Amino acid sequence: MSSETRLTPTSYIVLGLLDAAGEATPYDLKLTVGLSLGNFWSLPHAQLYAEPERLAAAGLLSERRESGGRRRRYYKLTATGKRALREWLTEPTEELTELRDLSILKVFFGADPKAMAAVQLPARERKIVDYEEIVARIDGHAPPGIVLALQAGIAHEREWVRFWSRLLAGEEDA
């Protein structure tokens, strides 16, 4: 790996997804993100198309291109890519969650908290159901980390349900 290659969270997402998949196209990566970690980590899809090429140039991925048809590019981890991913996974982080919530932004600028709560509360409750359905489908068939991430999502949404319920009830000190 080139010493100038800076690895970002997107880099590690690509490395981790390819570690699990074995080999994939950028389009495959986009679909996987949409069905999985896109629930707790947002990133522009364009990054999932550009990042594999950058990582291949750095020696972290190998590339295979179809000879005919759409000439899709398939990527997979190299030994260097696997090593970079494993090293990253062993490094604990103190980084906290970045809260980017449009409803909170609107309340911050003066939107009616009760009106916002009336819309947010059912949306958050639906998200809990979605997460619980996914856990029920994959529990025992997926790596423990995926189930733990979903459980974190459920806990997160339950806290939002508590918060919006209090605002809906007129308790401004939610």
pLDDT digits (tens, 9 = 90+) for 6-62: 999 999 999 999 999 999 999 999 999 988 888 888 888 899 999 999 999 999 999
In a domain, 124, yes or no: yes
Q: Do 50 and 85 have their domain in common? A: yes
Tell which of 33, 61, 89 closes a domain. Answer: 89
| Number of structural domains the chain divides into | 2
Helix (H, G, I), strand (E, B) or coil at 65: strand
Task: Decide: helix, strand or coil at residue 93.
Answer: coil
In a domain, 94, yes or no: no
H or E segment and range at residue 160: helix 144-168
The pLDDT of residue 96 is 87
- Residue 147 clears pLDDT 80, i.e. is over it: yes
Higher pLDDT, 145 or 174: 145
Burial of 157 (0-12, 13-18, 19+ CB in 10 A): buried
Which domain, by its residues, includes 30?
9-89
CATH number at residue 67: 1.10.10.10
pLDDT of residue 139: 83
Q: Is residue 55 part of a domain?
A: yes
Within this chain, do residues 120 and 79 fall inside the same structural domain, yes or no?
Answer: no
64 is a domain residue: yes
Write the pLDDT tens digit of every residue in 58-113. Answer: 999 999 998 888 889 999 999 999 999 999 999 999 988 888 899 999 999 999 99
Q: Which residues contact 116 (CB under 8 A, 6 or more apart)?
A: 103, 106, 107, 164, 167
